[in-house]
Structure formats: structure tokens, C-alpha cells
Structure 1
Amino acid sequence: MQRRTPPEGYRRAIEAHRQAAVPSRGDPGIAQAVERQNTAMRELSRRAFPEPPAVPDDAPAPIDQARVQRRHQAAMTEAAALRRARQERAGIAVPKAVALRTTA
């Protein structure tokens, strides 16, 4: 879809408005105070919320490490359950349940 160009009168009105607009006459002292305050706030924010240490690009992210650990634990639990089920089917005395790693 092609955009329509604004009418000539509209463009003239916008240009006249731009030329008539008075530039801001802000107090330089206030502008400097605002800039100092912004700088101070950035510094406080940087102290309160420091950047996390950089992780090399080839290293897994912490969330990925947690996922891998959970999958490994789940695989260990599944393997133990399968061994126990096979022992029970074979009629082998199964020792009392051994506590696996607990969560939380």
C-alpha cells in the first residue's frame, strides 16, 4: 500500500509552526543539576544492581546447567526404579527403599 503525500497546505502549516516555535529557554543551572542528579541515580543503581559476571560464549548458561542437573537426577531415579522393578519381577529380595537425593 502506498502512502499518500500530505497536502501542500498541511506541509506549509507544519513548516510555519516549526519556524514560529520558540526555542527552550531553560536555566543552564537547572539543566546541570538535573544531569548531576541523573548521574548520581545511575551510580546508585549500579551499586544496588551490579552487573553479573561475564560468562564465556561457549559456557552453558546457569539455567542450562540446572536443566542438565535435573535431567541427570531424573535419569538416575528412573534407572533405580527400573532396577527395583526388575528385581521384584525376578523374585529377588529388594532391600528397603534407599532414600535417593531429596529436593528442596
Structure 2
Amino acid sequence: MPRQGGGPDGRPRPADPAARRRARTRTGRCPGSPGSGRAHRSGRTRETACEGYRRALAAHQEAAAPRRVDPAIAEAVERQTAAMRELSRRAFPEPDVVVPEDAPAPIEQARAERRRQADVSHAAAARRARAERAAREARTVAAVTPQRAPLRTSA
């Protein structure tokens, strides 16, 4: 008659998976140690690894053959890189305009232009409101002067 639910050592095996995990850690081995059957998940890195691991890694890195690069491939990569830089230089040329040191940056110029446009719009709105208020007080239709320049619309 075959054993039911028994472990490899003949003891009864718990049915609950969490109980099985707890039983595995009671074997006296560290959960991440070799032969424990469990992966170590504590976030170890090369810096926090044990001294034996660091020695083994250093020995492996010394014994590993250096990468060999084919000179023809390296030359082709250099040619391709130079060609790409030339295409980029042609597509996006550097401006030849000499900008004085005290000149405002392009972003500051854009902000100043927006401020100026906002001031123009505000002044036009204030003129229109004054004209409409005067017309209401006089009980006439407001004769609003047309805009000298079309106002910019916002999003």
C-alpha cells in the first residue's frame, strides 16, 4: 500500500502549502543556502555578497577571455558613426549668428511677447467694458470701435 501525503523522510507531510514552507525552513538550513531548495530573495548584490562569492567572481573574470573585436567591423562602425554625425550636422546646422551675452534667451523672448499680447488683449477688453458701461448708463447701444488688430485666441 503506497504512502499518502508522506514526505521523503517518512514523516507525514502537511497538507497546507504554507505549513510545508515553514517545515522546510526548520531543517536548520538558511532559506537561500545551497541545497535548501529555495531561492534567496533578500536583495543581495555583489557588494553585499559573501567573500567566497566575490573571490569566485574575481577568478572567473580573470579567466574569461577578453572580447576580441574584428578590426574591419570596428572600422565600419567608425565610418557609419562619422556619416551619421555629418547627416545630423547637415539636418540641424549650428546657427552662425553671434548672440550678445546680455541678449535674452529665446524662452524669455517668447514670454515677453506673450506678456505684451496679454496686455494688448486686456487693454482692448477694458476699453470695450468702459464703452458698454457708458452705453448702459446712457441707455443707448454701445458703439464699440473695431479692433485695430485681431486678438489672439487661446486654447
- Structure number with the bigger relative contact order (C-alpha 8 A, sep ≥ 6) is 1
Q: Which residue of 1 aligns with 2:105?
A: 61
Structure 1: state its 5+ residue gaps.
none
Write the distance in 1 (CA, Å) between the matches of 2:108 and 2:123. Answer: 22
In the alignment, does 2:73 pair up with 1:30? yes
Q: Which residue of 2 aligns with 1:72?
A: 116
Runs of 4+ in structure 1 off by over 4 angstroms are 52-57, 91-96
Shift of 1:98: 1.4
Which structure's residues are more often helix, by fraction?
Answer: 1
Q: Deviations over 1:74-95 (max 9, x none)?
A: 2122223223332443347854
In the alignment, does 2:145 pair up with 1:97? yes
| 8 Å contact from structure 2 (residues 132, 142) kept in 1 | yes
| CA radius of gyration, larger in | 2
Q: CA RMSD in A?
A: 2.9
Shift of 1:61: 2.2
| 8 Å contact from structure 2 (residues 131, 144) kept in 1 | no
The counterpart of 2:57, out of the listed 1, 7, 14, is 14
Range 91-100 or range 7-16, more displaced = 91-100
Shift of 1:39: 1.1
Structure 2: state its 5+ residue gaps.
1-44
Shift of 1:35: 0.9
Equivalent pairs, count: 102
User: TM-score when scaled to structure 2?
Assistant: 0.52
- Cα pair distance change 1:8/1:96, threshold 3 Å: closer
Shift of 1:55: 4.5
- Cα pair distance change 1:26/1:80, threshold 3 Å: closer
Write the distance in 2 (CA, Å) between the matches of 1:27 and 1:15. Answer: 27
User: TM-score when scaled to structure 1?
Assistant: 0.72
| Aligned residue identity for 1:90 | A
Write the distance in 2 (CA, Å) between the matches of 1:14 and 1:100. Answer: 78
